[in-house]
Amino acid sequence: MTVEAVQSRSGISPRAAVLAYIVVSGLVLLLMMLLGLTMRLAQAQWIDIQPDFFYMIMTMHGAGMVGIAGLSGAAVMWYFVRRHVPVSTAVFVANLVFFLIGAALILGSGFIGGFAAAWTFLFPLPAHSGELWSVNAAACYMVGLLFIGVGFLLLHLDIARGILVVYGGLGAALGVKQAFGLAPEDEGPPPAVTASTMVLIVNILGILLGAAVLVVSLVNLYVPSFTFNALLAKNMIYFFGHVFINATIYMAVIAVYEILPVFTHRKWKTNRAFYFAWVLSTVMVLTVYPHHLLMDFAMPTWALVAGQLISWLSGLPVLLVTAFGALTNVYRSGIKWTVASGLVFVGVAGWAIGVIPAIADGTIEVNSFMHNTQWVPGHFHTYLLLGMVAMFFGFMTYIVPKTTGALLPFGFWLYVGGGSIFVLSFLAAGSVSVPRRYAVHLPEWLPYDRVASVGATLAVLGALIMVLNFVIGLPSATREEADA
Amino acid sequence: MIQEVVWGVSIVLMGTLAAVFAWVAIGANVALADYRPVIASAYRLRTWLFGLAVIVLIAANYDTLGKLPYVSSMSASSSATATLPVEAVAEQWSWNIKPDAFRVGQTVEFHVTSTDVNHGFALYDPDMRIVAQTQAMPGYINVLRYTFNEPGVYRVLCLEYCGVGHHEMTAEIKVAAH
């Protein structure tokens, strides 16, 4: 089946657009990592910054990382799904423009306006700054997030349009019939299409609810008498946040499905278990969000119990389908490891390994002791730094046709080694009840912060090397004929 | 303490997964002539792993779901224990806890709320380990039941980010031996 890519009215080629996404993602990732490193150095008391500055960069780091995880994941997803369905380069570029506008507004709200309500903007905190930021700064942040959300909404809708043209329905594109044994496995959609379908279903819902609570928050900022139930707002925020950040991993894993087989010379098996895992994940990503609310005793108990049970179930597709699939794909394949293939393999490992602390914290009895300790960032940095971002870096390194020498593997090991030290420090600190999101730490917590700072520094250096490798290789990458 | 058990179990499981990935990665350079029998045994192994996972899942959830911290879920017999109600009100950036002195063996019910934004009521024991927590929400009262088994000075730390004074929002609770 031939697929005609919609010609971009802007004259930007699809490949150039993807490269632009990667450059922006790489640079913003580095900037956000530097903000994160600054936070850890401050907690370690190796540098001295004011608490209001700490909480502002904490807010910027959270928003920036979530946003860039979305952008970089979208680059991976779009690059591969357009081999199978017609998509609009103009819409893809528009998403980037919306993102940059939103990012500028968010950075302005923080660095100029002092907005520091954490990226989760938990209602009604943005309106209770304690004189630290103005209502306008808070509004600027929210409008920035809305811009980013609108961009992604457009992108997902455009991909949905393309998928519907080719597959006729979202169920067919998800492989629902294959999942339930009602159609032959080898007639199922390619992995990139299945993954993109799952992501657009969950993200359209997540973004809409996120946008709704942002608008509610915006009105409340300027009309304080317009109040909103804080528990309902919390539910909407965590539904949006959970769905959006998980979707970034489900977008990035497409890189694993597409890149690993190139190096192992073994096709990724899209069998009934594969499709079933994706159908299950679609449902579970949408329904597990109460695991962010386990200490909200005001919630109905059944919802919190469901949050625990679905958290546990969610580990099964990741471990027994994706991780298992990657391991069997690589096992005795004769692969000659490169940094690109190594990174996507690490990405699967990071995701699988991160399941353990995630499920632990998703258990109510454990959550009582570990909620909002550093166990929480320990878990999600394992998923993101060693999972999603590693997959993205693998894609980034794969796209550049020539690597630039021996420094690149060194960068890989710095990133993986430093990243491991960094996440383990978070988890260790959480196990001794060090709180998360504290600008000032007690003396007994400093050793954890100091080990973490060393790990983070190594990871930042590794990331810098890998991003530089891409940027240096960019001129030859743009000269390559479009291969997608 | 639960945290230490969880940390230990997590390290073992995470380490095992990492070792498996490393082992596969290291041995991957040597190609296998015929891959199909490997695939067949891999799928058999996966069926075993799935069965094991289901057993662990059922056991762990059955065990832990019997120990929910929600007072509404507690059995009638435990509700019959005499409990002392304690008011715990959070605001930017301090705690108002009345009363804040108890004796070993006393079971208290913290009625936790907030006058402004979300806060987190986290009870730390004299060794600075969390022993109980709940959210402090505006418009809601969350009931947290706890029995003091050790004497000493406990601390309440705010565990939900609430603005620039978040890290300074602490209070002390004194528990006497008798």
> DSSP per residue over A190-225, as a string?
PHHHHHHHHHHHHHHHHHHHHHHHHHHHHHHHH-TT
Q: Return the H-helix or E-strand segment holding A28.
A: helix A14-43
- CA dist A187 and A192 (Å) reads 14
Quick one: closest CA in B to A324, which residue?
A: B46
- Cα separation, A74 vs A252, in Å, equals 8
Nearest to A387 by CA among A285, A287, A255, A270: A255
**What ipTM was reported for this prediction?**
0.95
B96 Cβ contact partners less than 8 Å away, ≥ 6 residues apart: B87, B88, B89, B90
Beta carbons of A23 and A469 less than 8 angstroms apart: no
Residue B155 CB neighbours (<10 A) = 14
Chain B residue with minimum CA distance to A363: B64
Give the chain A residue whose CA is nearest to the CA of B138.
Answer: A230
Residue segments in chain A with a per-residue pLDDT below the cut of 70: 1-10, 401-404, 478-484
Whole-angstrom Cα distance, residue A410 to residue A426? 24
Task: Tell me if chain B has a CB within 8 Å of the CB of A229.
Answer: yes
Asked whether the beta carbons of residue A319 and residue B53 sit closer than 8 angstroms, the reply is: yes
A247: Cβ contacts below 8 Å, ≥ 6 apart:
A70, A73, A199, A202, A203, A206, A285
pTM of the model: 0.95
The residues of chain B scoring below 70 in pLDDT are 73-81
B 117-156 residues inside an 8 A Cβ radius of A: 117-118, 120, 122, 124, 128-135, 137-140, 142-144
Q: Which residues of chain B neighbour A130 with C-beta distances below 8 Å? A: 92-93, 163-165
Q: What is the CATH number of domain B71-176?
A: 2.60.40.420
Residue B178, classified by CB atoms within 10 Å of its CB into exposed (0-12), middle (13-18) or buried (19+), is exposed
> Are the CB atoms for A188 and A178 separated by under 8 Å?
yes
Nearest CA to A189 out of A204, A203, A178, A205 is that of: A178
Place of tokens 């409990």: B83
Flag if A51 and B167 touch (Cβ within 8 Å): yes
Residue A332 contacts B where some CB pair is shorter than 8 Å: yes
Cβ atoms of A373 and A433 within 8 Å: the answer is: yes
* Beta-bridge mates of residue B107: B83, B147
Under DSSP, the state recorded for A482 is P
Query: What's the order of all strands across the beta sheet hosting B130-136?
Result: B101-103, B170-176, B152-158, B119-124, B130-136
| Nearest beta carbon to residue A298 from set B61, B140, B166 | B140
B 47-106 residues inside an 8 A Cβ radius of A: 49-50, 53, 57, 60-61, 64-65, 67-73, 92-93
How many other β-carbons are positioned within 10 Å of the β-carbon of residue A136? 13
Take residue B124 and report the two structure tokens written for it. 């730390």
Domains of chain A (ranges; CATH) run: 14-479 (1.20.210.10)
Helix (H) or strand (E) holding A231: helix A230-264
A230 in contact with chain B, both atoms CB, cutoff 8 A: yes
Using CB atoms, pick whichever of A296, A348, A433 lies closest to residue B135.
A296
For A89, the 3-state DSSP assignment is: helix
pLDDT at B78: 54
The confidence score (pLDDT) of residue B34 equals 87
CA angle A242, A246, A251 (to 5 degrees): 150
pLDDT in the model for residue A8 = 45
Q: Tell me if A432 and B3 make a contact (CB, 8 A cut-off).
A: yes
By the CB < 8 Å criterion, does B10 face chain A? yes
Q: Is A228 on the interface with B (CB under 8 A)?
A: no
pLDDT at residue B80, as a whole number = 55
pLDDT score at A138: 98
DSSP secondary structure, A315-341, as one string: HHHIIIIIIHHHHHHHTT------HHH
Q: Taking CB atoms and an 8 Å limit, are B166 and A55 in contact across chains?
A: yes
**Residues of A whose CB is below 8 A from B160:** 122, 372
What the block records as the tokens of A112 is: 């100029």
CB contacts, 8 Å: A439 with chain B: 166-167
Q: How far is CA B55 from the centre of its chain?
A: 23
Residue B126: its pLDDT value, please? 97
CB distance A124–B117 less than 8 Å? yes
pLDDT of residue A89: 97
Q: ∠ CA A123-A55-A68 to the nearest 5 degrees? A: 80
> Among candidates A329, A311, A233, which has minimal Cα distance to A274?
A329
Compute the distance between CA of residue A172 and CA of residue A278 in angstroms, rounded to an integer. Answer: 12
Closest CA to A357 of A373, A390, A323, A380: A380
What is A113-180 written as a DSSP string? T---STTTT-TTGGG--TTSS-HHHHHHHHHHHHHHHHHHHHHHHHHHHHHHHHHSSHHHHHTHHHHT
Cα→Cα distances A432→A73, A377, B13, B167, Å: 34, 14, 19, 17
d(CA A464, CA A480): 24
Chain B: closest CA distance from residue A480 (Å) = 29
B127: closest CA of chain A, how far (Å): 10
B12 touches chain A (CB under 8 A): no
Cβ density class B55-79: b for 16+ within 10 Å, e for less? eebeebbeebeeebbbeeeeeeeee
Which SS3 state, helix, strand or coil, does residue B35 take? coil
Q: Measure the CA–CA gap between A217 and A13, rounded to whole angstroms.
A: 39
* Cβ pairs A/B, distance under 8 A: 224
